[in-house]
């Protein structure tokens, strides 16, 4: 007798109603995609069983666009066209990355939108386009594993990402053909993955040190509600910086200061990253540098390594102190500290965090996977599959203050940092001279008091203000931040009702026209990619066929073929050999068919000859059919 599973009315999901969703951790060093299967969060591997996709993209005339391990393997030999750690460039202007540009081999080009572009063999690309290539690979991996189109995705971002960085991430997802359900802060995703809503209620700290960013978030957990009390961090601090200081140590130790060039620098960075990872388990590691005429060997001990990176680890404690102060809590109120991000494997990091928070950090889950797993749970809920989690509520905060520029270049803060989102707040302003009929509004983000010291987000003009004496008009400016942390601003003159509003498109994001153009280019390249694959397949078929026929001719050509027949086969082989390096796959396919046709009789004769040889000396009744 079969057992039937009975559910509450409206709680079951029929197969045709189940929607496919995933969570994506778009990381600095590695990226992952996860989903919910049978109620369990699971990382989706590639065809080789690898879960981590290196966040590396290579643009090559020879190979096209390569993503992941293929690109990473070429980083040292082709550094100008192999882009890694692109997350650190998202939503940033050329001036923002200038302090690290000397550590990067890329050729940056300033662009009108503010976000720098990078010169490659395939043309200039923006960080948004590079990130989109990574997302496309994760999208294809998920759709192949789940067997269908995705209904929606949740993509995680550092909690300390500002509006420009968040918008750039959304643009990348849009370019990759993904429907974003939500941008979820990485620390919050980690808390969801740990299932903290099922554990002790109270205060939890999420310490997230990844490859290129650092966040710390203070969460209040109460009856399934995640409320972020405060967040702080540094969007330009992470494991990559540890690699950099080790590489600088190697340069000094090996006396390479006067011999540096792009390929050597990338080689040193890779050596440094490998040494850092090995030192999580060892007390020392031997490093070998073999590059052209350079040959050097040395030993890096954990003690020396910790001395090199101590300042970086200590830098993470400053945001921790700020977050504790903003949340108005003390250390004895903290229930647990959750460690997230690959760089938290470093023993010095774990020991420093444990000492600072006066408790043993939680490291139960793989720090590389925990964010993606949490994002998958949230995606499953938002897409409408997970009814059991309907009571789960995530209340995040805006990481930086949002305000408006006023006379004298000052900033009037409208939404202070660490305000729970979504949120809407308004404030009244007025005109500063008689007869003023328009007002330019300038939205900014940051903690400084002067406009020049904050990040410009958007500018727009409110027209149609009735002419009045200075100070008589009442202009209501409203800021609205959605659950993704993205801002829209509106202004209204209260006496006349005239309005103006803007969906903030940061100066370092992409315009709708640019996105449309990129999508059009993407579709064009997709067709080129299909044609390229078909061409390579035909070339491989041609090569195999030529080898097969050549071997057959060498063995049986003289015995089984007349001169005219052999001449036709050799002519067809010659035509195929001369044309298989061309770019017309249909022509190659036609030549393959021709060679198959003229060699069919030869193949039949060889088969008959083989059968006769096999049957020679045997009676029919001896053959085992």
Q: Which of 13-27, 123-137, 479-493 has the highest mean pLDDT?
A: 123-137
pLDDT for 8 beyond 50? no
Q: Is the pTM of this model over 0.85?
A: no
pLDDT grade, residue 1 (50/70/90)? very low
For the segment 507-519, the average pLDDT, to the nearest whole number, is 52
Handedness of CA 496, 497, 498, 501 (dihedral sign): positive
Nearest-angstrom CA–CA distance, 559 and 609? 10
pLDDT grade, residue 178 (50/70/90)? very high
For the segment 151-168, the average pLDDT, to the nearest whole number, is 87
Nearest-angstrom CA–CA distance, 555 and 523? 49
For the chain, what is the total number of helices (H) and then of strands (E)?
14, 28
pLDDT grade, residue 622 (50/70/90)? low
Q: Which of 127-131, 407-411, 435-439 has the highest mean pLDDT?
A: 127-131
Q: Residue 202: is it exposed, middle or buried by C-beta count within 10 angstroms (0-12/13-18/19+)?
A: middle
pLDDT grade, residue 257 (50/70/90)? confident
Among the residue ranges 139-153, 342-356, 414-428, 444-458, the one predicted with the least confidence is 444-458
Q: Give the CATH architecture of domain 398-509.
A: Sandwich (2.60)
- Is domain 19-238+309-396 given the CATH code 3.90.45.10 in the classification? no
| Residues sharing a CB contact under 8 Å with residue 140, sequence separation 6 or more, in sequence order | none
576 or 620, which is more confident: 576
For the segment 569-586, the average pLDDT, to the nearest whole number, is 86
| Residues sharing a CB contact under 8 Å with residue 50, sequence separation 6 or more, in sequence order | 69
pLDDT grade, residue 526 (50/70/90)? low
Instruction: Please tell me the number of Cα atoms within 13 Å of 108 on its side-chain side.
Output: 22
Give the tens place of pLDDT for each residue, 220-234. 887 767 788 888 888
The values of phi and psi at residue 226, to 5°, are: -95, 110
Nearest-angstrom CA–CA distance, 500 and 521? 34
Nearest-angstrom CA–CA distance, 19 and 265? 46
pLDDT of 111: 67
Share of the chain above pLDDT 70, in %: 85
Handedness of CA 183, 187, 190, 196 (dihedral sign): negative
For the segment 577-583, the average pLDDT, to the nearest whole number, is 83
pLDDT for 536 beyond 80? no
pLDDT of 455: 77
Give the tens place of pLDDT for each residue, 267-292. 888 899 999 999 999 999 999 988 77
The catalytic site residues sit at 25, 87, 186, 208
Determine the topology of domain 513-615 in CATH: Substrate Binding Domain Of Dnak; Chain:A; Domain 2 (1.20.1270)
Nearest-angstrom CA–CA distance, 242 and 309? 6
Residue 51 neighbours by CB distance under 10 Å: 18
Domain ranges of the chain: 19-238+309-396, 398-509, 513-615
For the segment 339-350, the average pLDDT, to the nearest whole number, is 92
For the segment 185-204, the average pLDDT, to the nearest whole number, is 78
């Amino acid at each position: 007798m079969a057992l039937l599973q009975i559910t509450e009315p409206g709680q079951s999901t029929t197969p045709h109603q189940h929607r496919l969703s995933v969570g994506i951790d778009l990381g600095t060093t590695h990226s992952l995609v996860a989903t919910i299967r049978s109620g369990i969060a699971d990382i989706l591997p590639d065809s080789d069983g690898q879960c981590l996709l290196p966040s590396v993209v290579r643009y090559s005339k020879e190979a096209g666009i390569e993503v992941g391990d293929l690109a990473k393997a070429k980083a040292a030999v082709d550094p100008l066209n192999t882009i890694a750690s692109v997350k650190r460039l998202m939503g940033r202007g050329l001036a923002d990355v200038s302090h690290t540009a000397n550590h990067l081999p890329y050729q940056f080009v300033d662009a009108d939108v503010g976000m720098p572009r990078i010169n490659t063999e395939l043309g200039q690309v923006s960080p948004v386009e590079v990130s989109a290539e990574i997302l496309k690979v994760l999208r294809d991996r998920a759709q192949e594993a789940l067997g269908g189109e995705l209904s929606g995705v949740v993509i995680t971002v550092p909690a300390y990402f500002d509006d420009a960085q968040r918008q750039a991430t959304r643009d990348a997802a849009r370019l990759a053909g993904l429907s974003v359900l939500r941008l979820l802060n990485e620390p919050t995703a980690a808390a969801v993955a740990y299932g903290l809503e099922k554990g002790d209620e109270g205060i939890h700290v999420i310490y997230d040190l990844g490859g290129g960013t650092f966040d710390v978030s203070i969460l209040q957990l109460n009856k399934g509600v995640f409320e972020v009390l405060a967040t702080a961090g540094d969007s330009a601090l992470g494991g990559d910086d540890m690699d950099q200081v080790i590489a600088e140590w190697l340069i000094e130790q090996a006396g390479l200061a006067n011999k540096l060039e792009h390929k050597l620098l990338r080689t040193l960075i890779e050596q440094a990253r490998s040494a850092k990872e090995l030192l999580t388990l060892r007390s020392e590691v031997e490093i070998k540098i073999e590059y052209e005429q350079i040959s050097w060997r040395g030993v890096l001990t954990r003690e020396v390594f910790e001395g090199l990176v101590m300042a970086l680890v200590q830098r993470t404690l400053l945001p921790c102190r700020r977050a504790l102060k903003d949340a108005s809590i003390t250390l004895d109120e903290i229930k647990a500290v959750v460690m997230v991000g690959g760089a938290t494997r470093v023993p010095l990091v774990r020991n420093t965090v444990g000492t600072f928070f006066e408790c043993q950090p939680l490291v139960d889950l793989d720090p590389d996977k925990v964010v993606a797993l949490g994002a998958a749970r949230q995606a499953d809920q938002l897409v409408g599959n997970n009814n059991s989690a309907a009571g789960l509520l995530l209340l995040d905060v805006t990481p930086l203050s949002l305000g408006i520029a006023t006379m004298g270049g000052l900033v009037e803060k409208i939404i202070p940092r660490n305000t729970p989102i979504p949120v809407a707040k308004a404030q009244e302003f007025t005109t500063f001279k008689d007869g003023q009929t328009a007002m330019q509004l300038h939205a900014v983000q940051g903690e400084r008091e002067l406009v020049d010291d904050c990040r410009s987000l958007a500018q727009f003009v409110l027209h149609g203000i009735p002419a009045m004496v200075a100070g008589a008009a009442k202009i209501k400016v409203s800021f609205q931040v959605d659950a993704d942390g993205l801002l829209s601003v509106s202004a209204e003159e209260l006496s006349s009702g005239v309005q103006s509003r803007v969906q903030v498109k940061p100066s370092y994001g992409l315009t709708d026209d640019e996105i449309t153009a990129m999508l059009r280019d993407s579709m064009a390249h997709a067709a080129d990619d299909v044609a390229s694959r078909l061409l390579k397949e035909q070339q491989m078929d041609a090569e195999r066929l030529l080898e097969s026929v050549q071997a057959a001719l060498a063995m049986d050509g003289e015995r089984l073929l007349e001169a005219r027949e052999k001449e036709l086969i050799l002519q067809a082989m010659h035509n195929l050999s001369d044309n298989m390096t061309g770019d017309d796959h249909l022509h190659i396919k036609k030549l393959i068919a021709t060679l198959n046709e003229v060699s069919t009789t030869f193949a039949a004769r060889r088969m008959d000859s083989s059968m006769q040889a096999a049957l020679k000396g045997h009676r029919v009744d001896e053959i085992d059919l």
